[in-house]
Structure 1
Amino acid sequence: MAINLYIVRHGETYFNFLHRFQGWSDAPLTPKGIQHGHDAGTRLARIHFDGAYSSDLTRAIHTARYILQNNTADSPKEPTQLFDFREQFFGSFEGVNGETVTTTLTAYKTEPFETYANLIATYGMADAMNTIQIADPFHFAEDDAQWWARVSHGFDDIRFRHKDGDNVLIVSHGTTIRGIAEKFARHDFASESVKNGAVMQLALEPDTASILRFNDVTTVF
């Protein structure tokens, strides 16, 4: 047995639409992003969630609320906010255009790449996070170890709050979801950009997790 996690990426924000690194910055959902939340809620409507959580950033909180508004299975009405499931902090790159960030990061790698997704595919999520921290002139950005210490603490918190067989909703963020996939041995998943409103389904066990679905925007659960 395991705890059943449904980790959803928040809906589209204005920073997403403008192709800007977002991290801990808090851009609001676009109208399309609001619809992403409702659409995810429709797909997850029949699941009774024993717990519902979001990162404490507005885009995740609002998306979780839209999901729960659509739930018909006596789930919580309001998400509990957990800092641990925030996005990676991008430091000086917060709010910066993605192409500009990518151009900066190429100076720190030997293999050429054209996009941030290419960087992840070539070097892996941990290396990508570390490169952002190194390239940040003030070194405010989180590296892989800092990010994973925070997120793994979040998983331990979920394990403490819930028992085997519980269904748990968590609304989180794209880079964090990709990083989680890689930590649980799915670099192939980590190389995919996560769609807004997409579901990653995990079976959370005492010391690890198994990924059952990733980047799913079609399944009606």
Structure 2
Amino acid sequence: MRDRRIVLWRHGQTAWNLERRFQGTTDIPLTESGLDQARRAARLLAALRPDAILSSDLQRTTATAAELAALTGLDVTYDEGLRETYAGAWQGLTHEEIVARYAEQYAAWKQGEPVRRGGGELETEVAERAAPVVERGVDKLPDSGTLVVVSHGGTIRTTIGRLIGLPPHTWEALGGLSNCSWSVLGETVRGWRLMEHNAGSLPEPVLGDDD
């Protein structure tokens, strides 16, 4: 039986994160704090002995992935399919500006309706481009291998939703990820299972009746 693992790791802090600006596909660099976060997280994730690293090609993710690559000696494979959601007119706006200018659209999105935020991508379209990238990466692993995917909060959430089979209108229930935190999917006989979400420490074994 295969026992593979996917670690979906969000990038470190950016200035737009601090300003609560919607980044989307805008290519924003890490702050110094973001680099520090990436270095700390990389030291932990290196202990998992990953077999491969995939990354979005935006600089906030490539800089994050580089810290893990430096510790593990692994090459990073970059794929634009792992980029954050393109959100058109929302990109560059603060949370408050989005709520003020696009109140109905924002409310509909929060309620789980399919919404092209700012005229951009649907969440299902993000999952349709990102999840296959992850699946192709996993297919190259050994039977007990670990894949680290460095991506963005929205893309990670939709990819998890797709891989574990949740209906799209429920994906928001997964919640967001903090900068440089990660989620872990483990392989079971019934498919992928969410083992950890928005974690900042190494996965612990589940000891109990639910294992």
TM-score, normalising length: structure 1: 0.79
Q: Show the counterpart of 2:63.
A: 62
Aligned residues of 1:3 and 1:204 also touching (Cα < 8 A): yes
Amino acid aligned to 2:103: T
Secondary structure, in 3 states, of the residue corresponding to 1:44?
helix
Q: Identity over the aligned pairs, expressed in percent?
A: 23
Q: Show the counterpart of 2:146.
A: 167
Give the alignment's Cα RMSD to 1 decimal: 2.6
Amino acid aligned to 1:51: A
The answer to whether structure 1 residue 84 and structure 2 residue 84 are counterparts is: no
Amino acid aligned to 2:30: L
1:172–1:206: structure 2 CA closer, same or farther, 3 Å change rule? farther
Q: 2 CA distance for matches of 1:169 and 1:110?
A: 33
Q: Show the counterpart of 2:207.
A: none
1:43–1:99: structure 2 CA closer, same or farther, 3 Å change rule? same
TM-score, normalising length: structure 2: 0.82
Residue by residue, what CA displacement relative to the aligned partner does 1:77-112 show, whole Å, maximum 9, x if unpaired? x3110122111111121111121112333224778x
Q: Show the counterpart of 2:41.
A: 40
Matches within 5 A, 1:47-196: 47-71=48-72, 75-76=73-74, 78-108=75-105, 120=110, 123-124=111-112, 127=113, 130-131=114-115, 133=116, 136=118, 139=119, 141-183=120-162, 184=164, 185=166, 187=170, 190-196=173-179
Q: Show the counterpart of 1:209.
A: 192
Structure 2 spans left out of the alignment, 5+ residues: 205-211
| Cα shift at 1:191 | 4.5
Paired residue total: 199
Q: Which residue of the other structure, out of 190, 202, 206, is the alignment partner of 1:219? A: 202
Matches within 5 A, 1:1-20: 1-20=2-21
